[in-house]
Amino acid sequence: MQLYFIRHGQSVNNAHWETDEYKDTGRTADPVLTQKGIEQAKLTAEFLAQSHPEVTKRWIDPQNNCEFGLTHLYCSLMERAVQTGLVIANRLGIDLNAQADMHEIGGIFLKEQVGDEEIVHIQHGHARPYFERHYPKLIIPEEVDSRGWWPGGIEPRENEAVRAKRIIDFLLEKHLGTDDRVGVITHGGIYRKIFMHLFNVQVNGDPDFRMKYRIILNNCAISRYDFDEESMMLLYHNRTDFLPCELIT
């Protein structure tokens, strides 16, 4: 099994970083892609669609110089991941399957500072009718109904590592021992948790330590892992060489 983690394109929240004013004020609970994010997604789709049969294939094509040949594609139900995933799925001619577990850490939420009090506004994410109307090609999990896919509130920190393990367990159960090439449109925060789970990383004995251990995954960057029944191999991480400098965010 080959597993490719692909971060979504730049969202309207991500764009705040370009103004050095990133903070909860002005944040959107479920942001969409910026125009830059859409361009990133299109270039990523073209890169993943490449095929060079004239290139002599050596070993396992560790840099995907011949092709990617994705056979399966998953995404979270956050709109920026759905948008990115559909650009890729449409270009590759494969299905896009949404999985609620693959969402960013924290979930869908909005915070507001009122005096000394921080208020969390309950959000539930988009419901099945919204996805069916705006993204008819998206394969939606059965449990998503008319109430929205997120239960509300902010995901507790202790749930993040547990969910990262659950994501990997799901992918291994579905694809380990096959020749499947699986893409996952993911998010920076949960990818860090997945990385830490895969490599059993603990900082100061705390597997959930947050501040001194950072993994960068740029918008639309690709990281590849290969699995067999006995081992896992990281072939590359945070690959963005297919994007022009001005689109690396």
The domains found in the chain, sorted by start residue, are 2-247 (3.40.50.1240)
As a whole number, mean pLDDT of residues 192-211 equals 72
The confidence score (pLDDT) of residue 202 equals: 60
The confidence score (pLDDT) of residue 205 equals: 55
The confidence score (pLDDT) of residue 24 equals: 53
State what percent of residues in the chain have pLDDT above 70.
90
pLDDT greater than 60 at residue 214: yes
The confidence score (pLDDT) of residue 212 equals: 58
> How does pLDDT run across 82-129, given as a tens digit for each residue?
999 999 999 999 999 999 999 999 999 887 666 777 777 778 999 999
pTM for the model stands at 0.92
Contact 16, 34 (CB under 8 A): no
Comparing 114-128, 165-179, 181-195, which segment has the lowest mean pLDDT? Answer: 114-128
